[in-house]
């Protein structure tokens, strides 16, 4: 679904230029969950902006087989709109009448029943994230770029979101490229993890995660998890 070849990017201003990405290679197969982990500021979000067409100044090439939705770190829910009016925004943009039966089923799956008439400030952080993900899902794109969607949540809420997200992903079979700074999160969620090095960032490691699905938190207590974690920590230190 995603194929990146020798991708580079330089951020230019009037007075200087900063090389952000250098010779990136990456592949993401259909319906895979692929995570990218790397130091803060190394260029992960820049990479997503290139894949989504926001940044067009780059060298090398990439291809995406399907349309892309890019969900930023913030949920970006509109505070003046109810949760229901927020999630149906993609339908409004396409000038389509919302399919209420389908949306009501998704509201159940995304665990938001009873909250459609509320406003974003009335919801917990985890519920806001679920609402933002539901809105992203309703864009009906084949590829989802998720940029640290759980970064602002507390540790307990984050862990509860892991299993929930995997259930949604498995049922609806989207291709997901996921940015995170959290090693545990990357191992638990992913089929494959790419490690970016320091800026100018390139791919310094690629790790296939062989845990069977469905997954559970007990796997984070075993030796196999510790082996993956050790390798990721070593790669991040390069």
pLDDT of 234 reads 94
Whether omega for the bond prior to residue 200 falls within 30 degrees of 0, making it cis, is yes
- pLDDT tens digits along 25-75: 999 999 999 999 998 888 999 999 999 999 999 999 999 998 899 988 888
Order of strands, edge to edge, in the sheet holding 2-12?
17-28, 2-12, 59-64
- Contact assessment for residue 211 and residue 31, using Cβ atoms and an 8 Å cutoff: no
The three-state DSSP-derived secondary structure of 125-147 is HHHHHHHHHHHHHCCCCCEEEEE
Asked whether residue 87 carries a pLDDT value surpassing 90, the answer given is: yes
The Cα 98–Cα 90 span in angstroms is: 9
pLDDT grade, residue 219 (50/70/90)?
Answer: confident
Strands 33-37 and 192-196, by their bridges, are parallel
Delineate the domains of the chain, giving CATH numbers in brackets: 1-66+174-238 (3.40.50.300)
The Cα 71–Cα 147 span in angstroms is: 6
Asked whether residue 90 carries a pLDDT value surpassing 80, the answer given is: yes
Count the Cβ atoms, other than its own, within 10 Å of residue 145.
25
The Cα 57–Cα 40 span in angstroms is: 22
- pLDDT tens digits along 102-133: 889 989 888 899 999 999 999 988 899 889 98
Q: 146: which residues sit within 8 A by CB, 6+ positions away?
A: 71, 176, 177, 178, 179
């Amino acid at each position: 679904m995603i194929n990146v070849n020798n991708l580079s990017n330089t951020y230019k201003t009037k007075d200087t230029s900063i090389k952000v990405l250098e010779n990136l290679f990456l592949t993401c197969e259909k319906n895979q969950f692929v995570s990218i982990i790397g130091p803060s500021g190394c260029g992960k979000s820049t990479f997503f902006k290139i894949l989504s067409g926001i940044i067009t100044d780059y060298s090398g090439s990439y291809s995406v087989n399907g349309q892309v939705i890019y969900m930023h770190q913030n949920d970006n829910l509109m505070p003046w709109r109810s949760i229901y009016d927020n999630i149906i925004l993609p339908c409004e943009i396409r000038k389509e009448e919302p399919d209420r039966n389908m949306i009501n089923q998704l509201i159940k799956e995304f665990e938001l029943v009873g909250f459609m008439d509320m406003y974003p400030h009335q919801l917990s952080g985890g519920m806001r994230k679920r609402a933002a993900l539901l809105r992203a899902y309703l864009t009906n794109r084949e590829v989802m770029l998720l940029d640290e969607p759980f970064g602002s949540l507390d540790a307990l809420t984050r862990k509860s979101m892991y299993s929930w997200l995997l259930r949604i992903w498995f049922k609806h079979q989207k291709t997901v490229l996921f940015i995170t700074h959290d090693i545990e999160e990357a191992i638990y969620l992913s089929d494959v993890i790419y490690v970016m090095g320091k800026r100018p960032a390139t791919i310094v490691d690629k790790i296939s995660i062989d845990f069977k699905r469905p997954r559970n938190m007990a796997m984070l207590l075993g030796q196999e998890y510790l082996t993956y974690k050790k390798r990721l920590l070593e790669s991040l230190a390069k």
